[in-house]
Amino acid sequence: MSKKTDFPQSLSELLEIDDKVYEKDTRPWGEVTESSMACWTERGTGIELERSKLMPNAYVLKSPSAINFGLPVLESRANPVRTRTMTERLAVAERRRLDRFERTNRRFETLGEPHCPEGVPTGIHPKTVPSIDAKRVGLTSRGAKTLLSADPHATIINGESRQFVYPDRYPYTAVCKLYISYQPEPGASWRQSGEATGYLIGKSTLMTSGHVQPLSGSGWMIKVVPACWAGRSVFGIGFVTYVRSTHWWNSDSGSDIQICQLYDPIGERTGYFGYRSYNSDWEDGAYWHMAGYPYDRSLTSMSRQSGIAVRDDDDGDNINVNGDDYDTTQVESDADEASGASGSPLWGYWSGKPYAIGVHHGVERDGTIYGTEILSCASGGDGFTAAAHWGRSMWS
């Protein structure tokens, strides 16, 4: 548990910090990852490269079977790279019957340090954009204005507070857009099943929500676009990667956590977040920030909110991380959120460095004497930091 006096920096304190700008810019402009050039065939047949007759300097890939692009994970008994946790979820349901105060929970006090590469400017004060396109405006159940989209899930608390942000500075360079797809059966067409947000916590380690899962089939694929703006990375169309393996939990809103191994160590170039457990001493302080890709703002361009306050924290279900049980925390805040923001980082600054205290889950409805209170909810606590530490230690 963090010391009582170890508070994150307030917005007014952050105003006194100047962003770092380096004489030599080392951001990965125009870099191309190995993942972005990958393609494969269902039957393992060869692929040939030929010069196109349609345009100079254009080339054509030819194969006797369909050519697929990206790096999928083809599920089989011999390749159990995605850890399904149904057994753990059933065990958690049984443990719910036990008195929470009688559980023995191991505390996980280690902080995960953030990393900003030398030459990548910081974005404590990022480039904000007032609007990127016109959208229809509607009202939430509370009467507040909200932007409408094809997805009906949106929670706006005390009026719209989010801004579009151009993600060319750290830590926004470490926030990623996720495209999730699956193949129903061998040889079938690949289908997109969802979109979400994730964030880097290591060179090759991504954090997102546990419910961000492809549908069942013969294979699945999660495309990761760091610093996404208008559907592509600000660093170029070739700066993408894919999820190689993953471990996830999802029995309640406190344990909705997933760690992912990436094919390419893009965190070396973009930087990555630190992590730490939430401390209830910080309640009601407007210290926090969240960034992602909510449907009601934009599917493809990043938005962020600052000055978020955590209003409550509740005990979440225990999760088992690498053989040990850890408690989780439902971190409930007044952040605006919508579908697509799942997996976003909720973070604060200590000494100008960003530490995530949770991964955005969705909303939590709590009954009070004044009625039902609706708050945004992130999955945090010792289980969150234990999962992050385990993923970073395995995959860096």
Final residue of a domain: which of 69, 91, 118?
69
Q: Which token pair is 154?
A: 């949106």
Pair (129, 78) in one structural domain: yes
Pair (254, 109) in one structural domain: yes
What is the value of pTM for the model shown?
A: 0.86
Question: Residue 311's pLDDT band (boundaries 50, 70, 90)?
Answer: very high
Pair (81, 39) in one structural domain: no
Cis peptide before 171 (omega within 30 of 0): yes
Provide the percentage of residues in the chain whose pLDDT is more than 70: 82
Pair (213, 351) in one structural domain: yes
In a domain, 296, yes or no: yes
Q: Which token pair is 248?
A: 């996830």
What total number of domains does the chain contain? Answer: 2
Pair (43, 119) in one structural domain: no
Question: Residue 317's pLDDT band (boundaries 50, 70, 90)?
Answer: very high
Question: Residue 74's pLDDT band (boundaries 50, 70, 90)?
Answer: confident
Pair (54, 130) in one structural domain: no
Contact 112, 203 (CB under 8 A): no
Residue 1 identity (one-letter amino acid): M
In a domain, 5, yes or no: no
In a domain, 3, yes or no: no
Q: How far apart are CA 316 and CA 206, in angstroms?
A: 22
Q: How far apart are CA 175 and CA 199, in angstroms?
A: 4
Residue 318 identity (one-letter amino acid): N
Query: Does the pLDDT at position 99 exceed 50?
Result: no
In a domain, 214, yes or no: yes
- Helix, strand, coil percent values for the chain (each to nearest 5): 10, 40, 50
Residue 29 identity (one-letter amino acid): W
Query: Which among 387, 322, 317, 324 is positioned nearest to 356, based on CA atoms?
Result: 387
Pair (169, 310) in one structural domain: yes
Contact 140, 153 (CB under 8 A): no
Final residue of a domain: which of 69, 93, 119?
69
Q: How far apart are CA 26 and CA 29, in angstroms?
A: 8
- Residue 194 structural domain: 11-29+73-395
Q: Which token pair is 321?
A: 């991380």
In a domain, 1, yes or no: no
Question: Residue 2's pLDDT band (boundaries 50, 70, 90)?
Answer: very low
Calculate the average pLDDT of the chain: 86
Query: Does the pLDDT at position 154 exceed 90?
Result: no
pLDDT at 41: 87
In a domain, 2, yes or no: no
Q: What is the mean pLDDT of residues 31-41?
A: 94
> Which contacts (CB < 8 Å, 24+ apart) does range 133-138 have?
133/298, 135/296
Please state which of the ranges 104-108, 163-167, 223-227, 265-269 shows the lowest mean pLDDT.
104-108
In a domain, 4, yes or no: no
pLDDT at 147: 44
Query: Does the pLDDT at position 77 exceed 70?
Result: no
Please state which of the ranges 40-44, 338-342, 349-353 shows the lowest mean pLDDT.
40-44
Query: Which among 393, 74, 384 is positioned nearest to 250, based on CA atoms?
Result: 384
Question: Residue 163's pLDDT band (boundaries 50, 70, 90)?
Answer: very high
pLDDT, tens digit (0-9, with 9 covering 90-100), for 238-278: 999 999 999 999 999 999 999 999 999 999 999 999 999 99
Please provide the distance, in angstroms rounded to a whole number, between the alpha carbons at the two ends of the chain: 24
Pair (224, 256) in one structural domain: yes
Pair (233, 166) in one structural domain: yes
In a domain, 6, yes or no: no
Pair (132, 240) in one structural domain: yes
Please state which of the ranges 87-101, 309-323, 363-377 shows the lowest mean pLDDT.
87-101
- The CB density around residue 309, as the number of other CB atoms within 10 Å, is 14
Pair (132, 203) in one structural domain: yes
pLDDT, tens digit (0-9, with 9 covering 90-100), for 377-391: 999 999 999 999 999
Pair (265, 313) in one structural domain: yes
Q: What is the mean pLDDT of residues 137-154?
A: 47
HSE, CB side, 13 Å, CA atoms: give it for residue 9: 15
More confident call, 140 vs 216: 216
